[in-house]
Amino acid sequence: MYGWNGRLLRVDLTAGTVREEEISPWVLKGYVGARGLGIHYLLAEVDPACDPLGPENRLVFATGPLTGTRAPTGARYVVTTKSPLTGVLTCSNSGGFFPASLKKAGVDAVVFQGRAAEPVYLWVDDGRAELRPAEGLWGRTTHGTTDALVGAHGPGTRVACIGPAGENGVRFASIMNDRDRAAGRSGVGAVMGSKNLKAVAVRGTGKVAIHDPDRFGELVKGYLDRFNDTYRDEPPPLRSHGTAVTVMGTQNTGIFPTRNFQAGQFEQWEALHGETLTERFLVKARACFSCPIACGRVTRVDEPGYEGEGEGPEYETVYSLGSDCGVGDLAAVTKANYLCNELGLDTITMGATLACAMELAERGLLPEADVGRRLRFGDARGLVEFTRLTAFREGFGDLLAEGSLRLATRYGHPELAMVARGQEFAGYDPRGEQGMGLAYATSPIGASHMRGDPAYIEILGVPTLIDPHEWRGKGELVAEWQDTFALIDAAGLCVFFTIRNLVSPDRHIRPTGILELLNAATGAGYTLEELERAGERIFNAERLFLVRAGSGGEHDTLPPRMLEEPMPDGPAKGMVVHLREMLDEYYRARGWDARGVPGPDKLRELGLG
Amino acid sequence: MYGWNGRLLRVDLTAGTVREEEISPWVLKGYVGARGLGIHYLLAEVDPACDPLGPENRLVFATGPLTGTRAPTGARYVVTTKSPLTGVLTCSNSGGFFPASLKKAGVDAVVFQGRAAEPVYLWVDDGRAELRPAEGLWGRTTHGTTDALVGAHGPGTRVACIGPAGENGVRFASIMNDRDRAAGRSGVGAVMGSKNLKAVAVRGTGKVAIHDPDRFGELVKGYLDRFNDTYRDEPPPLRSHGTAVTVMGTQNTGIFPTRNFQAGQFEQWEALHGETLTERFLVKARACFSCPIACGRVTRVDEPGYEGEGEGPEYETVYSLGSDCGVGDLAAVTKANYLCNELGLDTITMGATLACAMELAERGLLPEADVGRRLRFGDARGLVEFTRLTAFREGFGDLLAEGSLRLATRYGHPELAMVARGQEFAGYDPRGEQGMGLAYATSPIGASHMRGDPAYIEILGVPTLIDPHEWRGKGELVAEWQDTFALIDAAGLCVFFTIRNLVSPDRHIRPTGILELLNAATGAGYTLEELERAGERIFNAERLFLVRAGSGGEHDTLPPRMLEEPMPDGPAKGMVVHLREMLDEYYRARGWDARGVPGPDKLRELGLG
């Protein structure tokens, strides 16, 4: 088969065995890959009521048909499991080089099940795969683990692993690959840790078979030529300044979350801006496999107390550990980011949970004794100190390790956790960006900017600008974007290139470029309708898991701050999220019932009956 | 993969090579198999303008996903090529045991291309395949060839081959398998002969892999149990008396074609009736692979001059060689049938061409000198004599070998050839069965009762009875039936069991049972909509070939006798075919334009863009 390997590794950690299975070509076409394969196997094999950190939960690593190909940004994989943070589904994805190697090793997906008696890692050597003891690795940082495995298996080995946070069951522990790329969200690293699985190391030297290499090459060349034409005079802003270049846009529209979303503009925004990062700490830009953008930041900090080297921070990190915590010290933010990477923590939830703790503390709701010291917004030292404590669940870190909703609930104020479905918001205050409010509320993994990011169309004007304050029409728009993002994730592509270059330039984003590339790569002969249907299928399958896990429409909501407290100042002053109105429109657009449940007709239409 | 082997043999007769190719799983799902695969490869590889008997034509043998499985009647294969009779597409299918063996040998399809320098046959031995010289076989009958190959390769060898008619380029030469089963129509045997390919011999001892054996077994058992329940007290009429049992129905409705369609009732009908056949000649019923019906007739004739043994006649044969030639002598009809089988001729076109010649002769349009003797309706001896001459193209047989349209045209009266798109009608006078008239006119292979047989619903009342004289509503109905028949052919099933048992019992026949069996067998997860779409895709792909070959809507027509000469007597007295009205409705139902051409939207919708 082309594009896909059609091969799944089933790793039974309890039994210590690795078996190969064929993935039905029909499942591959219908679910495309990566995120689609993840939900396909989760829905088929995981009890929605299971304990996310128990052996009955499963963890799926999956690549897409374009992963490991020369398709621009064909670099990504998706981790799907039941989340210990949200208690329902999650999928978290990452780029780098590990995913392409996994694909080149002849594997489309790995299903981990059970729990190993002793720490192990999976070694995939171009198709042969086995579990090995991870004795010398347990307790080590992600960098230490990666370096040890590359040392053991030789150059060209690619590693995804957890750090101490995953070992210690931090509910927002990440899985790090290639040292600093993160499948960050919802605690996928904690699930990996609960299984005593420290790492996956891969050597993949094969070539992904392409159905029509001439056509595929021609398409890739066309896209890259156009990309290079666009940036002939000046490199893309994402390469020059990384994703933190977004700070200017969100600050200017008054949706840059500040002090746990108490405000939408941060007075020290310039200190966190991508251009500042470039000036102060950038060593070089770094690209993932087959990516022409290179938004990754290799940075070095020499400031006393914050010394370090690594990658980051991203925009989401300068929001969460920066403005949201009221911290304008980019050195501190960057150092905390390094720690998150090394210890295996999601920077978004780490920062947002700290921000929540800061607000609780400032309001006198969180006793200083519990924290161990005074905690206030703007506490730059605290970022570093508490990140470390969280990963090891030491002291107050043990409470932070539970995430903001459990923390705020413990102190009687769940409404102060800026979450949807138990997961912390990304760096966009939805009061000034209505579509994002709806996207947070309906994202299958809890609040996320990566499950149909309306910021493109509401803030960046890509492919066209739609008023961010308008709520009418956003139901349909968000549904459409969510399905397209599902497709991008499933194909193994990165949103950054794809959303600007591989969809038709219209308010209705149609995955025309993805269609061309997929058909040339796989020979699956998708029609545009079939492909769009596949995106919708994936999103609805995820919804099905949510509903079965008891998280249907009643959980499509936002904290009262978003719904009832008008934005206090800035361009979005006076606004709240018109969630109810948007939800009604959204459910209609999706063909779901008034309780947010896909009906039998919709499920049949999608082959999910 | 399940259900399908995913494997095609490409036999280059010019080069003398056999190569294996993978068939894309998407092609398999989208075209299902057999008839679908045939048109897929024909459309992709054959110039619609090529000479059907030249080396550039290709000949595709293909099985379906249910061929060789325990699905009731999962016995069939389809031969697709450009026809030397109609000058456009044809596909002709057959049951028996050869198709199941081909499938069990690991092959879904064989594409024959080029032309061998010397006669050869293809030997497929459980996956290994090679061309071998056919020196001792050329010139032999189908029975002689089959026996020789079974002798050479041992018991269990299954053979499809041509007789002298195919070698001699008779435009309606058949390909016979298992001695007496015929892929009979449109001259597929002449194409095989033109390639110097005498036979295909197969030993297939593998097992077709089934996706969900438990479910599949349960479904098959359910269908067979219901079938056996229905016929608990009395065996099915098709087993008792063969397809010739249909004589009573067509005679009673006045559509039993008589004397080249000059009448719709035949005074000697009882002599040709299935029950008479049973009484006089039946040795035993014979079933194809995995068929619970057993409509095949093993017969023996001891009448002087007509002595013989073999299989047949079918209903279509007692019409064509019987009533249509005004012959009520079943012994003569049966003997001519034996000869057609042994020499490799289509009984329908053989009889209908003789009937046309008889009418020409009776009207004084065909000089006796050209025939070599006096020829009149009712000439029982003539059946035997001219069948033999036709196969060898001797004397008048050389003109008969061209089929009725070329014969009648030669004598200046093409209107006396009872054909659509150059192929002779089946045994139903469409004036008394309007839907059949539309089916003849729009059948992709020229007139046929097997490309959406409305007789079920217009004559037999299966699944329900619709007035055969009514033309309104037939456009939509015929389109629907054509697509369903395409699906049945593609799946590898026989219409006889399927149309009564595997579709929903409604005027709208929906392939519900086929869906269940296909999904259990293949794991392809078809939705009902996808499956119906596949049937439509196949039919439209065939239409596309017709249009490209210059045979679009202007050829969707019938002879003036059907359109202008009212039926002279009987229950259908006074009727003509309301073709124009039905065609308008039909094109609309199909989403074709007024010239009968599928538009760009329809083609895109079907992935044929």
CATH number, residue A554: 1.10.599.10
Look at B25 and A30 and tell me if their CB atoms are within 8 Å: no
**Residue range B40-48: average pLDDT?**
96
**Residue range A109-128: average pLDDT?**
97
Residue among A26, A29, A512 with most chain B CBs within 10 A, to mutate? A26
Look at A26 and B605 and tell me if their CB atoms are within 8 Å: no
Domain end, chosen from A370, A403, A423, is at: A423
List residues in chain A touching B: CB distance below 8 A: 1-2, 22, 24-27, 29-30, 211, 522-525, 527, 529-530, 604-605, 607
Q: Which residue of B has its CA nearest to A607?
A: B527
Does B70 score more than 90 pLDDT? yes
- At residue A505, the pLDDT reads 66
Q: How far, in Å, CA of B597 to CA of B601, rounded?
A: 11
Q: Based on the domain organization, do B140 and B249 belong to the same domain?
A: no
- At residue A61, the pLDDT reads 98
The model's pLDDT over B330-375, given as tens digits with 9 standing for 90+, comes to 999 999 999 999 999 999 999 999 999 999 999 999 999 999 999 9
Q: CA of A74: how far to CAs of A101, A182, A492, A494, A509, in Å?
A: 12, 16, 6, 7, 20
**Residue range B567-572: average pLDDT?**
96
Q: Based on the domain organization, do A43 and A192 belong to the same domain?
A: yes
Share of chain A above pLDDT 90, in %: 94
- At residue B54, the pLDDT reads 97
Q: Based on the domain organization, do B580 and B447 belong to the same domain?
A: yes
Closest CA to A446 of A255, A190, A186: A186
Look at B26 and A523 and tell me if their CB atoms are within 8 Å: yes
Q: How far, in Å, CA of B5 to CA of B8, rounded?
A: 8
**Which residues of chain A are within 8 Å of residue B527 when distances are taken between CB atoms?**
604-605, 607
Asked if omega into A463 is within 30° of 0 (cis), the reply is yes
Q: Which residue of B has its CA nearest to A31?
A: B525
Q: How far, in Å, CA of A580 to CA of B430, rounded?
A: 62
- H helix intervals, B411-527: 434-442, 455, 474-491, 495-501, 512-522
Average pLDDT, chain B: 96
Does B122 score more than 80 pLDDT? yes
CA distance B526 to chain A (A): 8
Q: How far, in Å, CA of B313 to CA of B331, rounded?
A: 10
With respect to residue A213, please indicate whether it lies within any of the assigned structural domains: no
Q: Based on the domain organization, do A46 and A108 belong to the same domain?
A: yes
CA A184 to chain centre: 6
Q: Based on the domain organization, do A415 and A453 belong to the same domain?
A: no
Q: Based on the domain organization, do B49 and B189 belong to the same domain?
A: yes
Q: Based on the domain organization, do A437 and A545 belong to the same domain?
A: yes
Q: Is A599 helix (H, G, I), strand (E, B) or coil?
A: coil
Domain end, chosen from B397, B423, B449, is at: B423
Q: Based on the domain organization, do B284 and B419 belong to the same domain?
A: yes
- At residue A165, the pLDDT reads 98
- At residue A507, the pLDDT reads 65
CA distance B222 to chain A (A): 22
Query: How would you class B132 by CB atoms within 10 Å of its CB: exposed for 0-12, middle for 13-18, buried for 19 or more?
Result: middle
Do the beta carbons of residue B323 and residue B313 sit within 8 Å?
no
CA distance A604 to chain B (A): 8
Q: How far, in Å, CA of A563 to CA of A559, rounded?
A: 7
Asked if omega into A444 is within 30° of 0 (cis), the reply is no
Do the beta carbons of residue A421 and residue A446 sit within 8 Å?
yes
- At residue B197, the pLDDT reads 98
Q: How far, in Å, CA of A221 to CA of B213, rounded?
A: 46
Look at B24 and A523 and tell me if their CB atoms are within 8 Å: yes
Do the beta carbons of residue A497 and residue A291 sit within 8 Å?
yes
Do the beta carbons of residue B561 and residue B551 sit within 8 Å?
no
Number of domains in chain B: 3
CB nearest A527 (choices: B27, B522, B607): B607
Q: Based on the domain organization, do B404 and B447 belong to the same domain?
A: no
Q: Name the token pair of A593.
A: 């019932």
The model's pLDDT over A125-171, given as tens digits with 9 standing for 90+, comes to 998 999 999 989 999 999 999 999 999 999 999 999 999 999 999 99
Confidence band for A604, pLDDT divided at 50, 70 and 90: confident
CA distance A473 to chain B (A): 28
Confidence band for A607, pLDDT divided at 50, 70 and 90: confident
Does B507 score more than 80 pLDDT? no
**Which residues of chain A are within 8 Å of residue B522 when distances are taken between CB atoms?**
26
Q: How far, in Å, CA of A323 to CA of A244, rounded?
A: 12
Q: Based on the domain organization, do B178 and B296 belong to the same domain?
A: no
Domain end, chosen from B407, B423, B439, is at: B423
Q: Which residue of A has its CA nearest to B3?
A: A24
The model's pLDDT over B457-476, given as tens digits with 9 standing for 90+, comes to 898 888 888 999 999 999 99
CA B147 to chain centre: 24
Q: Based on the domain organization, do A429 and A407 belong to the same domain?
A: no
Look at A525 and B605 and tell me if their CB atoms are within 8 Å: no
Q: How far, in Å, CA of A129 to CA of B96, rounded?
A: 46
- At residue A500, the pLDDT reads 84
**Which residues of chain A are within 8 Å of residue B532 when distances are taken between CB atoms?**
none
Q: Is A226 helix (H, G, I), strand (E, B) or coil?
A: helix
- At residue B377, the pLDDT reads 98
With respect to residue B231, please indicate whether it lies within any of the assigned structural domains: no
With respect to residue A224, please indicate whether it lies within any of the assigned structural domains: no
Domain region containing B591 = 424-605
With respect to residue B491, please indicate whether it lies within any of the assigned structural domains: yes
Report ipTM for this prediction: 0.72
**Which residues of chain B are within 8 Å of residue A604 when distances are taken between CB atoms?**
527
The model's pLDDT over B409-440, given as tens digits with 9 standing for 90+, comes to 999 999 999 999 999 999 999 999 999 999 99
Average pLDDT, chain A: 96
Closest CA to B3 of B516, B452, B528: B516
Closest CA to B348 of B280, B424, B453, B403: B424
Q: Name the token pair of A508.
A: 């209705």
Look at B30 and A529 and tell me if their CB atoms are within 8 Å: no
Closest CA to B375 of B398, B396, B394, B399: B396
Does A504 score more than 90 pLDDT? no
Look at A605 and B529 and tell me if their CB atoms are within 8 Å: yes
Q: How far, in Å, CA of A202 to CA of A127, rounded?
A: 9
Q: How far, in Å, CA of A607 to CA of B513, rounded?
A: 17
Look at B525 and A1 and tell me if their CB atoms are within 8 Å: no
Look at A30 and B607 and tell me if their CB atoms are within 8 Å: no
Do the beta carbons of residue A445 and residue A424 sit within 8 Å?
no
- At residue B506, the pLDDT reads 67
Q: How far, in Å, CA of A214 to CA of B395, rounded?
A: 56
Does B572 score more than 80 pLDDT? yes
Strand runs (DSSP E) across B224-316, as ranges?
282-286, 296-301, 308-311
The model's pLDDT over A424-483, given as tens digits with 9 standing for 90+, comes to 999 999 999 999 999 999 999 999 999 998 998 898 888 888 999 999 999 999 999 999
The model's pLDDT over A321-335, given as tens digits with 9 standing for 90+, comes to 999 999 999 999 999
Q: Name the token pair of B426.
A: 């089946």
Residue with tokens 């009521």: A49
Q: Which residue of B has its CA nearest to A525?
A: B26
B406's CB contacts (< 8 A; 6+ apart) are B171, B399
| Backbone φ and ψ of B136, nearest 5° | -75, -5
With respect to residue B226, please indicate whether it lies within any of the assigned structural domains: no
With respect to residue B477, please indicate whether it lies within any of the assigned structural domains: yes
Does A509 score more than 90 pLDDT? no
**Residue range B250-263: average pLDDT?**
97
The model's pLDDT over A170-185, given as tens digits with 9 standing for 90+, comes to 999 999 999 999 999 9
With respect to residue B547, please indicate whether it lies within any of the assigned structural domains: yes
- At residue A608, the pLDDT reads 87
Size of interface A-B (CB pairs under 8 A): 45
The model's pLDDT over A22-70, given as tens digits with 9 standing for 90+, comes to 999 999 999 999 999 999 999 999 999 999 999 999 999 999 999 999 9
pTM: 0.85
Angle (CA) A5-A11-A14 rounded to 5° is 175
Residues facing A177 on adjacent strands: A160, A181
Look at B525 and A30 and tell me if their CB atoms are within 8 Å: yes
CB nearest A25 (choices: B1, B529, B604): B1
Q: Is B419 helix (H, G, I), strand (E, B) or coil?
A: strand
- The type of residue at A395 is G
**Which residues of chain B are within 8 Å of residue A25 when distances are taken between CB atoms?**
1, 25-26, 29
Residue with tokens 């069996």: B517
**Which residues of chain B are within 8 Å of residue A22 when distances are taken between CB atoms?**
1
CA distance B265 to chain A (A): 49
List residues in chain B touching A: CB distance below 8 A: 1, 22, 24-27, 29-30, 211, 522-525, 527, 529-530, 604-605, 607
3-state class percentages of chain B: helix first, strand second, coil last, to nearest 5: 45, 15, 40
For residue A324, the domain's CATH number is 1.10.569.10
Q: Based on the domain organization, do B372 and B315 belong to the same domain?
A: yes
Residue with tokens 């969280």: A390
Confidence band for A508, pLDDT divided at 50, 70 and 90: confident
With respect to residue A222, please indicate whether it lies within any of the assigned structural domains: no
